[in-house]
Each structure stands twice: as C-alpha cells, then as structure tokens.
Amino acid sequence: MITFEGPVLVTGTDTGVGKTVTTAALAVWLMRQGRSVEVVKIAQTGDDDDAAEVTRLSGAPARALAAYPDPLAPFAAARRSGLPLLGLADVADAVLDSRAEVVLLEGAGGLLVQLGESGWTARDLAVELGCPAVVVARAGLGTLNHTALTLEALARRGIEAAVVIGAWPVNPGLAEYENLKDLPGPRLGWIPDNAAALDPEAFRLAAAEWFDLPTRLGPM
C-alpha cells in the first residue's frame, strides 16, 4: 500500500469518476489520523470550483494553481483563453513549499491529460515529485480496462499506486460486484455515489469508513 507522506497525486481513469469527492474524503481520513493536509487542484477548468468543494466537504485548506473558463482539458482551455500555461517545475516548487505533512494533488481528467507547458501530465508531475498516486476508478462496465491501463502507465514510470472506487452505487448490480473482485491494483477504499450530497458534518463522520473496502460493501 502507498505511503501518505509529502505529496500524493489523486488522478483518475477518466473525467467525472469522483476525484474531487475522493480527495475530500482522503483529506478527512488523514486529518482524523492527526495529519496536517493541504489540497492543491493543479488546474481548474469550467465553472466548477473543486478546491472550494473540497474545503466545504472536508474542512481542509485547498487552492487551485490555475483556472481557465472553458470546460476543456487544461492545455486546450489555456490555449483558448490566452491565459498562461503552468510550468512543471513551478508547480513542483509550489507543492514542495507547502508546510502540510500531506499534500493531495488533484489532477484534471485522466492520468495523461495535458496540463501545462510542453504538454506535461499528472504522471510527469508525480515523477518530478517522486510521489505515489491514488487512482480513482469507476465501479461499472469498462472500469477493468481503464484501471489496468492507468496502473500500467504509472508502473512504467516507477510510480506506486492504489485504487479507490470513486462512486459506489447505492444499488450495485452484478457488474459492479464482479468488477470489485477483478479490479486490478491494491485497493484503498470506496466512496458512495451520494457522498457529495451529504452535509459536511455527515461527510466527515462517514469518510473514515470508506477506506475499509473489504468489510463495508456487503456480499460479493
């Protein structure tokens, strides 16, 4: 299992898999262990404010290093807006300057989405920082291939990783339970798909239980 010390990348198998709520839940889980946590959203696009949502749910301080108005991949969104692209070294320096024991780095989209100058990706940032990754995956059909490809891409660059199911359905079906048996990689936990709708107090009380996957999901 990965070690939560210094920076930890939170990436996904795709967009919309639950990275923000997973990041918030991880922040709560770590803070309940007595750890100081800061959340850094590498690049925000569109109208959402993921950093504010993390703080609302978890209470952890969170910030975005760049924001672009169009709901696109950061590289394309920066190009369309004319706003500056993030430099890989600048982002790494901003992360390493944090005084928190753990810095959770939320990416944008999937692992290999271009985030900044020269097309660097979340994987490149993890290599630069020498940090592990949490891979947020879907529960349903298609997740086995997407998760395996993401873990393989991380392993090829020597990045340790663990998997979180980002939105476990209230009424899981056959595919979800069978995928749970076959999902590759070390399993760190699961997040119920209604987690973001909880009020912050309920979210913070429940979050620790979401990282005890084998005993919480019922019969398989």
Indicate the domain borders of the chain: 6-138+148-214
Reported as a single tens digit per residue, the pLDDT across 138-187 is 999 999 999 999 999 999 999 999 999 999 999 999 999 999 999 999 99
Run of H or E including 129? helix 122-129
- Taking the CB of residue 197, how many other CB atoms lie within 10 A of it? 10
> Which residues lie closer than 8 Å to 105 by C-beta, 6 or more apart?
7, 8, 9, 10, 40, 42, 95, 122, 125, 131
Contact 176, 168 (CB under 8 A): yes
pTM reported for the whole predicted model = 0.94
Catalytic residue among 19, 41, 138, 204: 41
What CATH topology corresponds to 6-138+148-214? Rossmann fold (3.40.50)
User: 41 an active-site residue?
Assistant: yes
Reported as a single tens digit per residue, the pLDDT across 32-41 is 999 999 999 9
Q: 174: which 2 tokens?
A: 């056959």
CA dist 152 to 22, 27, 105, 118, 120, Å?
21, 26, 20, 23, 18
pLDDT tens-place values along the chain, 220 residues long: 899 999 999 999 999 999 999 999 999 999 999 999 999 999 999 999 999 999 999 999 999 999 999 999 999 999 999 999 999 999 999 999 999 999 999 999 999 999 999 999 999 999 999 999 999 999 999 999 999 999 999 999 999 999 999 999 999 999 999 999 999 999 999 999 999 999 999 999 999 889 865 444 443 3
Nearest Cα neighbor of 57 from 111, 87, 82, 21 is 21
